[in-house]
A and B are shown apart, each in its own frame.
Chain A
Amino acid sequence: MNQTAFQSAFDEHKDAVFRFAWRMVGPDFAEDIAQDVFLTLLRHPERFDPTRGTLRAFLLGVARNLALKRWRDTHRWDPLDDEAFMTPAIDPTQGETAEIVGAAVRTLPPLQREALILAEYEELSLDEIARAVDAEVGTVKSRLHRARQNLKRLLAPIRPSFLERSPHGTV
């Protein structure tokens, strides 16, 4: 990849990569991760195979791996995807809706969180998410389903309708 192509890729995808990292790990480390993603592309352009998906999905996949590595450094003994994840209480009076939603998403186990962010915010297809997170499409569907159910329970204090229509009924 020559300098012009790299510059073009950077200009086109820097916001998506940074946004994803920001939502996954928070503002303190998002820039570090975004920088590492583009340095990976610069140093190892052969890792991107256009026949396996778009450059955007590839870069988000690299960002995902770096975010998970950072998470593992600080949560060595916690499970990545906790099926028995218990939704903690969210105080609806604590800040604006946006802050509450952000806190709720960041509460999710990492594998559910990344699937949800890639689907809801970056609008990747199930196939693209599966490639980015190196999992089967069915696994991604399952994680997305659990993430949405957990979020509905978490956000019920500000949207009681989520709880009423939830298949699990009450928290």
Chain B
Amino acid sequence: MEPSDDRDLTHVLREWKAPGAPATLSARVFGERIPWWRWLFAGTIRVPVPVAVAVALLLVAWAYTRLPATAPLKEAEPTVSLADFEPVPQLEPRVVGEFK
């Protein structure tokens, strides 16, 4: 490796400038409290993937148990065959009980 080559590289690398620390870093390190309502709009929480998957599965299971049970299939009504039907030869109505 040639030293002049490294100097050229260093020169080129120095063109990439990084910004200084933002003012918000001080607030974060020294614990200036953020109002809770602002957290509701801009806050984030980190959830491990296994926990997220477990919660999702629990929600699916809970939703499944809350579904209305499907109605049982109605039993087919017995069919009536009139093949052996025979009319009554003579109707003899008989009144049971008394007329008032």
A interface vs B, CB < 8 Å? 10, 14-15, 17-19, 22-23, 31, 34-35, 38-39, 42, 97-99, 101-102, 105, 116, 120-121, 145, 148-149, 151-152, 155, 158-159, 161-162, 165, 167
Contacting pair A10 B20 (CB below 8 A)? no
* Extra contacts besides A18-B22, A155-B12, A167-B1 (7): CB < 8 Å: A19-B19, A31-B25, A34-B25, A39-B29, A42-B29, A151-B13, A165-B5
Q: What residue in chain B is nearest A145 (Cβ atoms)? A: B1
Inside 8 A of B8's CB, which chain A residues have their CB? 159, 161-162
Contacting pair B28 A105 (CB below 8 A)? no
Q: 6 A-B pairs, CB-CB below 8 angstroms?
A: A19-B20, A23-B18, A42-B29, A98-B15, A161-B5, A165-B2
Contacting pair A35 B1 (CB below 8 A)? no
Q: How far is the CB of A60 from chain B (nearest CB, A)?
A: 13
Inside 8 A of B12's CB, which chain A residues have their CB? 97, 101, 155, 158-159
- B62 lies within 8 A of chain A by Cβ: no
Mark B59-89 against chain A: 1 for CB-CB distance below 8 A, else 0: 0000000000000000000000000000000
Mark B7-28 against chain A: 1 for CB-CB distance below 8 A, else 0: 0111011111111111011101
In angstroms, Cα B19 to Cα A22, docked, is 8
- B92 lies within 8 A of chain A by Cβ: no
Inside 8 A of B9's CB, which chain A residues have their CB? 148, 151-152, 155, 162
Contacting pair B16 A14 (CB below 8 A)? no
In angstroms, Cα B20 to Cα A39, docked, is 18
Contacting pair B20 A15 (CB below 8 A)? yes
Q: How far is the CB of B87 from chain A (nearest CB, A)?
A: 88
Inside 8 A of B14's CB, which chain A residues have their CB? 120
Inside 8 A of B10's CB, which chain A residues have their CB? 120
Contacting pair A35 B13 (CB below 8 A)? no
Contacting pair A38 B29 (CB below 8 A)? yes
Inside 8 A of A10's CB, which chain B residues have their CB? 26, 29
* Closest 9 pairs (CB-CB, A-B): A18-B21, A19-B18, A101-B16, A14-B21, A15-B20, A102-B16, A38-B29, A35-B28, A98-B15
Q: What residue in chain B is nearest A167 (Cβ atoms)? A: B1
In angstroms, Cα B17 to Cα A19, docked, is 9
Inside 8 A of A145's CB, which chain B residues have their CB? 1
- B6 lies within 8 A of chain A by Cβ: yes
Q: How far is the CB of B100 from chain A (nearest CB, A)?
A: 95
Contacting pair A105 B25 (CB below 8 A)? no
In angstroms, Cα B12 to Cα A158, docked, is 10
In angstroms, Cα B96 to Cα A109, docked, is 106
